[in-house]
Amino acid sequence: MQQRPMTLVEHIEASERRFPEATGAFTVLMQAIGLACKIISREVNQAGLGKLLGLAGRTNVQGEQVARLDEFANDTLVRTLTRSGSVCALGSEELAVPIRLPPAPETGHYAVVFDPLDGSSNIDVAVSVGTIFGVFRRRSPAEGLGGVEDLLQPASSLVAAGYAIYGSSTVFVYSTGLGVHGFTLDPSLGELLLSHENIRVPARGPYYSCNTGYRDRWPEDVARAVSRFEDGSRSLRYVGSLVADAHRTLLRGGIFIYPPDRSKPEGKLRLLYEAAPLAFLFEQAGGRASDGRQRITEKVPAQLHDRTPLVLGGSEDVALYESALAGDAS
């Protein structure tokens, strides 16, 4: 008889059993994130039918227009994670300040950062969007409210990270440091089923992915480094949803670049909500993540909403970008 694939929850439980001291709180937390992503997936797929398309009529902390689905996704994650009792603090790309939760000393060991709906400019045109998350261990004393110190940690301190992509299918990818695994949503069961076990990024890939429409705003070193990938041997792919561009790069290889430019000297993408979780996944999958000069996993955020240039990809491709940026002419 053909074996049925493992569900996400079974997979998390199996990896938690490797640690006899584990209390089960981590499984509860991951289950909550999986549930929130399934709820968001359902809403994204029905957005054209319901009333959730369009703008909410206000701007967020980043000064960007908030789409209604952004709000829905943020509320879903906040409510589901709060109800799980496993978190002490939450940081969201959509919220100016962190959510600090009352003490749950037996269970509230974790702090979660997330971009609830990445790529939201693509929602109204039915292009893939996604949710990105990172999980830190609590650092503040267990008796009080969680705080910003629980969230301002480098990606090297993540205990888990992942994303869900709401595309032609919904795929949930996560790692706890024991490989990177992907699960595809079976809508008839409402279950995420193991479909991509132990994902590895090819060292060199066939694509480069970058918004070359901004070339005139790039500093000279960025233009030089990107041009290294424009020798005719690679195809250009750029969705404009980070989750989608990262997912393709993780599975197929290649390089994703969001560099600094004259109008965004720090880059556009957020260190905590976008770059750090993806960097953790790429390194776990044998790839690399860099700001062009430094590993993303080493960068300590000073503020919740810090931005960073971001380069993700296979180890050889990212090394090529970094050396070209540093001035190597070869």
125: left (phi over 0), alpha (psi -120 to 50) or beta: alpha
Residue 47 or 269 with smaller CB distance to Mg ion: 269
Tell me which amino acid residue 8 is. Answer: L
Q: Is 240 in the site for ligand AHM (CB under 6 A)?
A: yes
Binding string, residues 132-161; x marks residues near ligand AHM by CB under 6 A: ------------------------------
Positions 21 through 80 that interact with ligand AHM (CB under 6 A) = 64
Residue 60: name the closest of 309, 304, 310, 308 by CA.
Answer: 304
User: How many CB atoms sit inside 10 A of residue 172's CB?
Assistant: 26
Binding string, residues 88-107; x marks residues near ligand AHM by CB under 6 A: -----x--------------
- β-bridge partners, 56: none
Part of the chain binding ligand AHM (CB under 6 A), chosen from 114-122, 150-158, 166-174, 216-224: 114-122
Distances 164 to 242, 244, 246, 259 between C-alpha atoms, Å: 11, 10, 11, 24
Binding-site member from 43, 81, 88, 118 for ligand AHM (CB under 6 A): 118
Distances 29 to 57, 67, 273 between C-alpha atoms, Å: 32, 27, 17
Rounded to whole angstroms, how far apart are CA atoms 92 and 285? Answer: 25
120 binds, among ligand AHM, Mg ion, none (CB under 5 to 8 A by kind): ligand AHM
Closest approach, Cβ 71 to Mg ion, in A, equals 14
Q: Is 291 in the site for ligand AHM (CB under 6 A)?
A: no
Rounded to whole angstroms, how far apart are CA atoms 51 and 292? Answer: 41
Residue 100 or 252 with smaller CB distance to ligand AHM: 252
Closest approach, Cβ 179 to ligand AHM, in A, equals 25
Rounded to whole angstroms, how far apart are CA atoms 316 and 212? Answer: 21
Residue 23 or 235 with smaller CB distance to ligand AHM: 235
Residue 115 or 150 with smaller CB distance to ligand AHM: 115
Q: Please identify the residue of the shown chain whose CB is closest to the bound Mg ion.
A: 118
Residue 275: name the closest of 165, 181, 157, 154 by CA.
Answer: 154
Rounded to whole angstroms, how far apart are CA atoms 187 and 51? Answer: 22
Closest approach, Cβ 267 to ligand AHM, in A, equals 10
Binding-site member from 34, 108, 119, 309 for ligand AHM (CB under 6 A): 119
Kind plus residue range of the DSSP H or E element containing 27? helix 25-45
Residues lying near Mg ion in the complex (CB under 5 A): 115, 118
Binding site for ligand AHM (CB under 6 A): 64, 93, 115, 118-120, 211, 240-242, 245, 258, 268
